[in-house]
Structure 1
Amino acid sequence: MTSLSLPRVLHPRKTSLEVERELFEKSQQQALQKAINANEVPVKQKHVRSAIIGTFHTQGAKTFWAIASRLPAMDDQIVAWKLCHVVHKILREGHPLCLVDSQRHVKDLDEIGKLWSHLNDGYGKMIRLYSTLLMTKLEFHKRNPRFPGHLGVTPEELESIAGNDNNNYFEMSVEMFDYLDNILDLQAAVFGSLNMARSNSMTNTGQCRLAPLVPCIQDASKLYDYCVKILFRLHYALSPDTLAGHRDRFLKIFKVLKDFYNNTTNLQYFKDLISIPSLPNAPPNFLIQSEFRMYVTQEVVVPQEQEHEDEPQAEGNLIDTTESDHAETASTISQNVYEQILSEKEFLKGQCEKLSSEINSLVVRHRQELKSLENKIKRLETDLASKDHELIQEKKDKEDLVTQAFAAVQNKGSEQKAKDEKFDKLKDFYYKLRDEHIQTIREKADVEKKLKASDSKIEQVEKDRVTLELELRDLSEKVTRTEEQLQNASSSQNEELEELRKDKELFNMETEILRKSINDHCRERDNYKAELTVALQDKSNLELKMEELSNKLSDNEKQTCSLKETNEFQLREILAKSIDSNKDIVKHAIAEIDNPAFSALTCSPDYLRSLTKDCFSCLEKCTAVSSNNVAQAIITSNDVANRLSIFILHGGATCNTSHDINFADKMSESCKSLGEIVSNILECLKAQKDVQNIVKEAFVKLEEISSLADSISSSLTGENKENLADMLENEMSEMDKAIEEAVNRIQEMLDKSKAADSGIKLEVNSKILDSCTTLMQAVRVLVQKSRLLQAEIVSQGRGTATPKEFYKRNHQWTDGFISAAKAVATAAKFLLTAADKVVTMNGKFELLMVAAQETAASTAQLVVASRVKADRKSDNLHQLATASKGVTTAVGEFIQTTFMILSVCWYYIVLMSRTFRNYMIFFE
């Protein structure tokens, strides 16, 4: 005992586990200090990899944060930037418990971001955005703990996480949008901070800034994929109006993300670090569910990094060597033996741990594969049952389609939609069945490969177990020989021998534990062989079901082909009849221009010009119509026919506002020419010919009509622009005079009729003139409300300017108001003339109906002109709308009264004709 030194007595020796723990913490500290330093160079991946391996060694990130918290992140901006990068890598690739352990350090990340956010240049803004991104990531995983750090989940796992609930999908998509917004804000700040003259992608400064974008790209790729799938699912279940905000937000993210990918792809620095897929030119259209089948998930590929030798680390002494020289010389033999035993023990322990981890991972992986195979088999069985039911249903639908073919032609609107849905359903069913068949064949090949690989791995495990038992036997023999040598040693080494015996006992305990672990793995291997046997049986059953499914698929393909031919023939007939109907609409619009009653209708050039944009857009759609897409051709032809016929009619109405007859005739002929060109376009769509040249002619003709309308507008307001206020006041006065004159004239006609007529004629004239009086009183109320609203518009819009300057500045609106006032005055005179002719028996009741409708149209024009610049919450506007409804009601009652009178007159005529015929028969 006297040979022991004082430090050895006072300080007990550390165990091997404590020494190993200290060495591990020291290596982790060195790796993090080398990875996170103040040098403006990118983080070396080998140091980050050491930190990631350390998280698996400690089963969490507590050691990492204990070391990272002592780094000077609050003193140096580059250290803070690199710390955020390393934390992002740890959260993505580290042990799953790193996400849990890092939740306690969210405030630390927030304080780092707030501190450096006050720095206007350098890394300040980027550090704040990066810390916000990390906090968003931790919050996302806190709300969705089943997402791993690298965000990679299968479609089944994604459905399980959301619980197949649309509300969960809705909330999850919003969280993913927020996550993507933070990523895109960070990348925008990084690219915005690059100075291409000093810090491009091939300099250390530029690479230090660009390196964190690699994990950001990996996260963004997964989030984009999940957002697309979730939005397609939500659009399948919910109405498009509910998801309008989601679509707008996704479109904005898509554009910025596409630019982000393009910027990173063009940089040389990223070519060796990551393979970035390119996004499509156009975002997915979530309103069309069939586009989801064409969507392909694009993975971001990170090439395997070359292995770099880590810097050599000094091994700590496993035993204490602080004894005196005399003790060291005396125990040389025992120390060598002890060191040999410890080295062999450490090597054997490492091999056992490695073998145990491989066996565990192999067992877990194959259990997961077996479970997935069982789920797929069950899913295929349910799909097969549903496919049989769908086949029976499709046969019934086919018979219904054949019986309802004629009805579908007559009711092409609703029935065409139903046929399209059924055809799409058949096509989707065919593609789905074919894809499942191909996928099943591929899964069969994968299962066979995995079974072969598992057999080879089991054989390798058996060989390793035998080798391990031999090594254990050799080691036991060495321990026995060591005991013999220790018994023959001198008495001065008793203390060392006692320590060796203790180590031997610990070693025996570890050996027993390892042997027990190997036995457990052997039992698990036997169980796994039994499970593989069951899987082989299931595979044989699956092959039989695949053959049955293939036979059913071939029968279904034949039925689908025959049904497809029938549907194509019917679709062609529907296309031809639809286009013929559209041509009739255009021809009717051309014929209406020459109708004398049409000459009383007017339209402002500004309104005609507003219709031009829609006409151009629908004509452009004609050039994109595919020859195979009948539905698109029908929709496009309907759009073209309706919009262009409306434009032609309004163009003819605009001609009526021109004072130059020759100019009006020229413009009406241009409208007719446009109608002929539209008919040619429809004929080309019907024959499935190229419409490029004819559409160009239509564009030229539209431009010509628009320029003519501009000429009318300039002629109306060009010279009189300065006197618009006086002109408006004069026209309003003339309108009031015309209405007042009409009311007085109707009253005079009523008085004359009462004095000169009697009986049925007096009653008819009284009802007609009373209806005219009621209508004109409603028009008078409408004009009064229009004047009040006009005064409110001028008072609110002119500011400090005079009313004349307001009318001059808004000359187009003033011109429309003048045109509306003229139309009302003209309609009042027309109604008065028609009533006079009917009362004096010189006119027809149809002319009176036309005059009433003309009055309603002119007042509607006045309402539209008044409402253009009015405040939507104005009381005068609401009163004007009420007065407009009163005019509409009065016109309806007027037409009803006229129609009733006309019916009574016909009844009396028929009755008198029958009476006269009976008298003639009697006299004969």
Structure 2
Amino acid sequence: MLIAPISLPPDFSFTSVVRPRFEDHLPTRPVDRDKAESELSLNIKKATNPDETAPKQKHVRKCIVYTWDYHTSQSIWTGLRVQPILSDEVQTFKALILVHKVLQEGHQCALKEAQAQMGWFETCARTVGADSMKGYAALIRAYVNFILAKLRFHRHHKEFNGLFEYEEYISLKNIDNPDEGYETIMDLMNLQDQIESFQKLVFAHFRGSANNECRISSLVPLVKESYGIYKFLTSMLRAMHRRTDASDALEPLRGRYNSQHYSLRKFYYECANLKFLTSLINVPKLNHDPPNLFDLPDEGPLLPPRQTPKAPSPAPAGPSQAEIDEQARLLKQYEDKQAALKAQEEAERQRQADLAAQQQREFEEQQRLQAEQQRQAQEQLMRAQMDQMQGGRLAELEREILAMRGQYERDQLMLEQYDRRVKALENELGSIGQNVGAQMAGKDELIKQLQDQVTLWRNKYEALAKLYSQLRTEHLEMLAKYKQMQIKAGSAQEAVDKMERMERDVKAKNLELADMIRERDRARFDLDRIKASQKEEMDRLKRDLMFANERAEDATRAKSSELSGMMGTLNRQISELEEALREKRDRADQLLHQLDAKDDEIARLREEKDAELAIMQEGMDATIKQMSDLQLNQGVTDEAVNAQIDTLILDNTKKLNAIIDSILQACVEKVDDAIYELESPAQSGNTTATPEYVLSMIEKGSTESNEFATVFSLYLSGEAGGEHVEVIKRANQFAQTISDTLLSVKGITRLAQSDDAQDRLVRTGREAGDVLLRFFANLQSYRLAGIAPASRRDAVARQNMEARTALGNLNTVVEGMVKAGNSMLKNANGDIGDIVEREMLSAASAIDAATQKLQALLSRPRDSSRFSAVDLQVHDAILEASLAITKAIAGLIRAATDSQQEIVAKGRGSSTNQQFYKKNNRWTEGLISAARAVAFATTMLIEAADGVISGTHSLEQLIVASNEVSAATAQVVAASRVKAEFMSKTQDRLERAAKAVTEACRALVKQVKTITDKQSNGAADADYSTMAVHEFKVKEMEQQVEVLKLEKELTQARRVLGAMRRAGYHATEDDD
């Protein structure tokens, strides 16, 4: 770049601006080189640890002191290369901060030796990727670019120290040349722009919720270095303005200086608002307007000392006469020579005058050409300065746009947070609205069904009313006919009277009315016939009328009672439905009011947030000033206490997270064990499980999955209800439920219709188990550490959704094992609660009947002629054991009834019993099936005991019946355990009753086996020792053949038993 020469006074020198202070330094304290090397390596390791905190000042200070002690920094570079700082972005960033401070405050050798380490800096910039988890990638690359620019500046300007303090400035070579001074100022300003762009990038990478201490620590050397450059530029520009009159040529420098002044003032203002930064250094404060560069500085730099001229020596004493004569002679000779020389000189002067005139003309021509060149150079300089000013203004506008873009991004982040909160509230309100809509739709559908039923019964009632009106019409018609017959009978009597009068007239007029006699006789005959026919008709009509009246009365009474009962039931159901509808409408109105209140609250919160932001913005400066004054005195103590508190909180949090991780790992292992048992051919699982029970367990697992996900989300956000105890309890309950579900799935594989169905069931269970295993594993702290805190709740919800989907797939496969017509509730008439109670009462009645039958068998007469005394004792023992089982089963049914009533009372809430049973239809069917199984197993046990006594059944049948009782007992307990409350006393009583039944069954089986062993021991064993070899081999082969036949029969019997169980499960029992 062409720089126009500036006319400066001859005595001007930039050495007058600065004062040299740099001298050679030797260690003045005793030091141990080996110990210092080891301490230096340790200090570098501590200063560049992976913790996201600022490098401690004592470690950095020791590295700086090392360079002053030994006048070298090679050990520091060696220590940095040895440490694994490139593997972690935080360590890399802290290493750059350490190097920057050593270059600033270390010995001058650090700057010289750092010139050879530029490759290491470039390696630091290349090591970090395009993006990073902790957000240091862009900062590291920008920091490396700045340090490289600083090293390039010091390579060209070796006279400057690391902090650019003008007191430490030695000298500027050839600085009397204005071009070099101008270029030096431009290089300093370029470096100042690099500092400005890097500090803006640091502020843009601050995180709102994370610890920014490491990022803030990088601003400390930037503040020092920028202030040193600023002071030197101020002094240097003042000196140039004071020593030259070409102020127009310095106008670009003044404009750029003023722009950097405002940028530095803003930078120092933002730094003063950082508590951590103000506790480390005193942030400079600049005036609002830049200093006047035309004024003299308040405290100018000192000039180097000048040598004072020496005083003249005193004159010597006067000469003698001989010396005077000699001097006169010499003077005469000198004058003669001078005269000759003068003539010669005069001639030479004339020649020189001619030559000077010619040179003057040439010089004036050169001056004219030089002035023309200077004018052209000044014009070109002015154009270049204008272009540079425009470029500086453009750069300033770009920086302002970058700052505004950073502020816009921060505002956008805040708005996104509010939008996410509002969207979450809207989603919550939407889900509430959907739930209300679904409930209202369900209720509307139920009301529609009831209205259809009411319409059906109304149609039936209208048909019966029509039939009644038809019968009444027929009855009235019969009454009308009866009256007509009575009228006819009356008219016949009148005819008889008339005939009598005619007879009297005939007697009077025998001669005139002779022909009327025959007519009279004929009329009498007709009259008798008509009377007879009318009497028979009247009797028949009376009988029909009587029968019709009786039928009408019976039909009226029956239909009236039936209609009254139906109308009462329907009116009661309609009133209940109207009440439920009224409650749901009230609930919907309340939810709508809550929705309006939430909307108002959201609007109010927005207004309050806007007002709070405005108030906070207004009071920010005053508050920060007061806080800075207070924190100057209390900052160190508060930081130490806060650091200790933060350390304790962090340690406790780590311990609690470790406990949660261990609990989740235990849940993973529990689910993994259940998956192993599900896939293991040697395990049979829960052999007493049924598909209804498995469906209820899957439903319970889905519910507990939602509860666990909700509690864990509250735990992540630190809200109420998300305590560690709740997380541990919910996790253990959920894992136990999943383990029981998988074992029950293994148990119902015995009911599958084919091997493909078994494989599909096991495969679906395995897939569900794997999803739930990943659910627990992905919630551990080391896995959540890689997810942003704002997205962790979404990750939990996503895992919960996957778990519910896997359980839904398993539910679909298990539902395929339940036939459509096998539902006990679809074809049920009446209240479902009444059905459940009826089944429980039926089971209790069957048990009571069994107990009475056993007592009757115990009190039977002993037939000693048929059975021996030992057989009678065996029979009594069997009956007593069976009676103990029935008594235990009776206690089990009572405990199951109490448990069922407690579950319904606590689970139904504000709904009715029928609604609770319908909502949990799978559990209800399982409970009914368990009650029926207990009743059926007890009946089979009594029949087997009776058959053993009467000789129609074997002891093995009694053992099988006892095992069936144990299985039915386990089914009852499992059905109640699905919905039982935690630590329920009724559930404990049910468990104890089931244990009593199991022990009674075990005692019966043990007694029967004892009897069987006695019978088998009573048979005489053959003496195989006396047999011949051939006979022994024949007997052995016969026994092997017998064993093979029995094993074949056993395999076939087991196959048939499995097929019967699969077919028998889907069969529907008939209600007797």
Q: Fold-level match, TM-score > 0.5?
A: no
Give the TM-score normalised by structure 2.
Answer: 0.27
Q: Which has the higher contact order (CA 8 A, sep 6+)?
A: 2
Give the TM-score normalised by structure 1.
Answer: 0.31
